[in-house]
């Protein structure tokens, strides 16, 4: 893999130098500079008719009569900025505030003899989701360098609120994969006829962060001010749009995850453990003025899952540890299908009223031969609802659904409403 990465870097440098020479010889120069500004956001209310107690699966019988709980949330508020420098060079960034951002402050408490006190008013996260510079050689070849979205799965590549009908992002992919998955790396991409390709070199996942409830979802997280990159990985995507209104996509990821942390395991019993993560995904979307159908199927495999589970559970467990210390399955999978009918298709304006239904199944813990099936990690999800677009950029969503678990657990019905927007200001 290292030879492949070095060859990729060599080709990228050669292409940049060659392209710059071509621009220098050209009689015309690019003088136009274009700024783009946009974003998207979601505000949500949902009510879950089930308990959110941490023991609701291990002691399910104690929570059959739960009245449930309600929540309001700002899942994502994103500002996007782009700039075209000319001569094929451009810049793009996304700054994301999740769940209202992080509100913290230091105050002087008069009633406590002037003590300084730190207060957290609201949880949440602020993330630099994208921050890259790009060199365009042609429509068939573009080099992107910096922090960008990893093109694996349906949701990572289509995560704006107008690309799915549910109030929240599709649950299965959002459970088993980092979502939205963004990493610092190098990407080559381009379009040739009806085909679009992308290949990306990025830091590999960290197996210390894997767990039973989310498989590798947290493996892209880092508790440090940097992302550990003892191992590198490769992600790739191929899209086909040769049939009218239809997109077909394949994507994949491969990388070793064990010892990809600042603390590495030196004991001989783990000498052959690599923790190779392999993911394969297929997704599609068909859309015309009346009907939209979208779906995906993802399957991932983790080598050495039993040894990694043993290692993770044996680490020092303290209140300051960033690691989950749980088992992780040797595989995980997710599949989803949703369809919507535009009830206002006969209108000649941008207003739309879409009635939709969706089905999803996912399992974040498919055990190896040496592991016990946890049971509660496999879930069917059914839902239906409405999406109303008063204008093209604004969506009002309403959804009702239920997670169906194995019979020894309680099913999880829910309702949710949201208002969403996405668009470009200039």
Instruction: Please write the tens of the pLDDT for every residue from 276-298.
Output: 999 999 999 999 999 999 999 99
Q: Residue 407, exposed/middle/buried by CB under 10 A (0-12, 13-18, 19+)?
A: exposed
What phi, psi does 34 have (nearest 5°)?
-125, 125
DSSP per residue over 347-411, as a string? Answer: -SSS-EEEEEEEEEEEEEEE--TTS---STTEEEEEEEEEEEEEETTEEEEEEEEEEE--TTS--
- How far apart are the C-alpha atoms of 146 and 93, rounded to whole Å? 10
CB 205 within 8 A of CB 258: no
- In this prediction, residue 256 carries a pLDDT of 97
Look at 73-87, 110-124, 326-340 and tell me which has the smallest mean pLDDT: 110-124
Q: Where are the alpha helices (DSSP H) in 257-339?
A: 305-314
Model confidence, pTM: 0.89
CB 66 within 8 A of CB 51: yes
Three-state secondary structure call for residue 67 = coil
* Predicted confidence (pLDDT) at residue 10 exceeds the cutoff of 70: no
- In this prediction, residue 265 carries a pLDDT of 87
CB 156 within 8 A of CB 177: yes
- In this prediction, residue 24 carries a pLDDT of 47
- How far apart are the C-alpha atoms of 256 and 263, rounded to whole Å? 16
pLDDT, tens digit, for every residue of 40-63?
999 999 999 999 998 999 999 999
CA angle at residue 173 from 409 to 146, to 5 degrees?
A: 145
What phi, psi does 329 have (nearest 5°)?
-75, 160
* Predicted confidence (pLDDT) at residue 7 exceeds the cutoff of 50: yes
- In this prediction, residue 101 carries a pLDDT of 79
Domain ranges of the chain: 2-27+36-424
CB 155 within 8 A of CB 171: no
pLDDT band at residue 8 using 50, 70 and 90 as cut-offs: low
Quote the distance between the C-alpha of residue 50 and its chain's center. 26
- How far apart are the C-alpha atoms of 1 and 203, rounded to whole Å? 13
* Predicted confidence (pLDDT) at residue 172 exceeds the cutoff of 50: yes
**Chain-wide mean pLDDT for the chain?**
89
User: What CATH architecture applies to the domain 2-27+36-424?
Assistant: Beta Barrel (2.40)
Give the DSSP H/E element, type plus range, for residue 96.
strand 89-98
CB 274 within 8 A of CB 258: yes
What phi, psi does 60 have (nearest 5°)?
-60, -35
């Amino acid at each position: 893999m290292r030879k492949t990465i070095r060859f990729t870097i060599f080709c990228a440098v050669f292409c940049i130098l060659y392209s710059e020479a071509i621009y220098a010889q050209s009689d015309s120069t690019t003088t136009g500079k274009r700024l783009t500004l946009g974003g998207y956001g979601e505000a949500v209310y949902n009510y879950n008719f089930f308990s959110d107690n941490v023991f609701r699966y291990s002691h399910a019988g104690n929570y059959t009569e739960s009245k449930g709980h309600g929540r309001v949330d700002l899942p994502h508020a994103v500002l996007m900025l782009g700039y075209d420098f000319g001569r094929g060079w451009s810049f793009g960034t996304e700054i994301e505030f999740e769940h209202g951002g992080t509100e913290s402050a230091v105050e002087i408490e008069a009633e406590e003899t002037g003590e300084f006190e730190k207060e957290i008013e609201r949880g949440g996260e602020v993330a630099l989701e994208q921050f890259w510079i790009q060199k365009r050689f042609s429509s068939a070849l573009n080099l992107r360098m910096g922090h960008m979205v990893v093109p694996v799965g349906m949701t990572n590549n289509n995560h704006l609120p107008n690309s799915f009908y549910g109030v929240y992002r599709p649950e299965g992919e959002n459970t088993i994969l980092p979502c939205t998955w963004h990493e610092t790396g190098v990407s080559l991409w381009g379009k040739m006829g009806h085909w679009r390709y992308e290949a990306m070199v990025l830091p590999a996942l960290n197996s210390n962060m894997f767990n039973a409830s989310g498989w590798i979802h947290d493996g892209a997280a880092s508790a440090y001010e940097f992302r550990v990159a003892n191992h590198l990985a490769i992600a790739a995507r191929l899209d086909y749009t040769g049939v009218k209104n239809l997109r077909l996509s394949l994507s994949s990821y491969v990388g070793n995850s064990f010892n990809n942390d600042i603390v590495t395991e030196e004991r001989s019993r783990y000498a052959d453990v690599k923790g190779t993560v392999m993911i394969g995904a297929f997704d599609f979307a068909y859309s015309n003025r009346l009907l939209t159908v979208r779906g995906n199927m993802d399957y991932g495999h983790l080598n050495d899952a039993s040894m990694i589970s043993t290692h993770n559970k044996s680490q020092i467990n303290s209140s300051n540890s960033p690691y989950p210390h749980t088992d992780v399955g040797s595989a995980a999978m997710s599949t989803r299908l949703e369809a919507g009918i535009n009830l206002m298709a006969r209108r000649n304006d941008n207003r739309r009223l879409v009635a939709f239904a969706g089905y999803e199944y996912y399992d974040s813990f498919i055990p190896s031969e040496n592991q016990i099936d946890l049971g509660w990690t496999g879930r069917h999800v059914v839902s239906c609802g409405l999406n109303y677009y008063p204008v093209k950029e604004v969506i009002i969503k309403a959804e009702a659904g239920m997670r169906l678990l194995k019979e020894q657990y309680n099913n999880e019905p829910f309702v949710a409403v949201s208002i969403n927007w996405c668009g470009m200001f200039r």
